[in-house]
């Protein structure tokens, strides 16, 4: 016990960290490097610095635009031991926070290796853990990225299973919100339909990069987010939740991943289509409904795949007219 206490106060920086990660379909604690983590005790580094507690207040402006205020908080203090260069957190919360940083860093490096410039996303202003939510107008129970404040917010877990902060799919989903914000210049978040597209983009990126249509299943049982489901726009219309229509957008993307059997190519079409949609539409209510057209038309150079894309779009978005799909 005395040895553990001494080790927990060590200033040694580990070369690897024991974090939760999926191995052969099951989450387990295993060593992982976290190159961007500079101070493992305070959770600070090139991705952003950790803050424990404080208050998060969100004011709703015109449409769904918000202004987020972060006040108070203190430095995160993760106790850990070091054994042969391996950092081992002395409590599950510390492991979960290290896991979040590790999975975020891995996503940053993976996207960079694929040729996407995601470096402008980092460092974020803060990674806020366990804050008090004050005047928060949206339902929220796990993890979030606030675009206007440029912070990741992590709440205590509301469900059994793998902690939210350690779930690779959830981390990649929140990363993708920051990426959506970067790709669209932070200007496409005023309306519910744009918020839905943002959620769909995040679900699609998480699913594609993990090659898993249900990337959050280890933490929460949410069949309504299964990208292989028969979700359609008419079923989602009228819903006040951005996730409902978001799943329809993401499912269209997954349709093409299954058709081409190439997740990296599908991701490239998704990114190119989002940029084309952003440049080709105005920031006004209803504009997100045009995104499927841009996505489908991005496949025109491959007639067979394009024909399949048209069929999928007609099923998912039956009222959407795509002239290029008309013989």
Q: Please list the pLDDT of the chain residue by residue as tens digits (327 residues).
A: 323 333 455 567 899 999 999 999 899 999 999 999 999 999 999 999 999 999 888 777 666 667 788 889 999 999 999 999 999 999 999 999 999 999 999 999 999 999 999 999 999 999 999 998 876 555 556 788 988 889 999 987 756 678 999 999 999 999 999 999 999 987 666 688 899 999 999 999 999 999 999 999 888 877 889 999 999 999 999 898 899 999 999 999 999 999 999 999 999 999 999 999 999 988 787 889 999 999 999 999 999 999 999 999 999 999 999 999 987
Residue 313 is part of which domain span? Answer: 184-327
In a domain, 17, yes or no: no
| Whether the Cβ atoms of residue 148 and residue 67 lie closer than 8 Å to each other | yes
Q: How many domains does the chain have?
A: 1
Residues in the chain: 327
In a domain, 216, yes or no: yes
Rounded to 10 degrees, the C-alpha dihedral 7/8/14/16 comes to: 110
> Which tokens belong to 124?
């974020």
SS3 113: helix
Segment holding 8, helix H or strand E: helix 2-8
Segment holding 223, helix H or strand E: none
In a domain, 74, yes or no: no
If we measure between CA atoms, which residue out of 220, 224, 294 comes closest to residue 256? 294
In a domain, 150, yes or no: no
The angle formed by the CA atoms of residues 25, 29 and 32, to the nearest 5 degrees, is: 95
In a domain, 244, yes or no: yes
In a domain, 310, yes or no: yes
CB-facing half-sphere around the CA of 68: CA atoms within 13 A: 24
| Whether the Cβ atoms of residue 61 and residue 186 lie closer than 8 Å to each other | no
In a domain, 277, yes or no: yes
In a domain, 285, yes or no: yes
Q: Please name every residue paired with 52 in a beta bridge, in sequence order, or none if there are none.
A: 74, 129
């Amino acid at each position: 016990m005395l040895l553990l206490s001494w080790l927990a106060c060590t200033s040694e920086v580990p070369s690897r960290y024991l974090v939760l990660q999926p191995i052969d379909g099951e989450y387990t604690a295993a060593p992982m490097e976290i190159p961007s983590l500079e101070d493992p005790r305070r959770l600070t580094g090139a991705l952003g610095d950790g803050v424990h507690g404080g208050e998060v207040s969100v004011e709703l402006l015109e449409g769904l635009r918000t202004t987020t205020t972060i006040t108070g908080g203190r430095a995160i203090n993760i106790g850990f031991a070091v054994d042969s260069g391996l950092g081992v957190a002395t409590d599950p919360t510390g492991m979960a926070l290290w896991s979040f940083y590790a999975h975020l860093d891995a996503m940053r490096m993976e996207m960079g290796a694929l040729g996407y410039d995601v470096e402008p996303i980092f460092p974020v202003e803060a990674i806020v853990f366990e804050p008090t939510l004050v005047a928060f107008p949206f339902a929220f129970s796990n993890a979030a990225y606030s675009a206007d404040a440029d912070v990741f917010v992590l709440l205590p877990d509301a469900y059994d299973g793998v902690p939210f902060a350690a779930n690779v799919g959830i981390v990649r989903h929140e990363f993708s919100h920051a990426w959506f914000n970067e790709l669209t210049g932070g200007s496409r978040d005023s309306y519910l339909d744009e918020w839905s597209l943002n959620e769909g983009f995040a679900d699609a990126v998480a699913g594609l990069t993990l090659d898993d249509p249900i990337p959050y299943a280890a933490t929460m049982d949410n069949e309504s987010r299964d990208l292989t489901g028969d979700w359609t726009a008419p079923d989602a219309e009228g819903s006040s939740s951005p996730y409902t229509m978001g799943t329809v957008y993401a499912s269209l993307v997954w349709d093409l991943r299954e058709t081409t059997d190439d997740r990296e190519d599908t991701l490239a079409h998704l990114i190119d289509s989002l940029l084309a949609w952003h440049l080709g539409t105005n920031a006004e209510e209803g504009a997100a409904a045009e995104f499927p057209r841009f996505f489908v038309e991005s496949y025109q150079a491959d007639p067979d795949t394009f024909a399949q894309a048209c069929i999928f779009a007609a099923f998912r978005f039956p009222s959407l007219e795509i002239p290029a799909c008309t013989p």
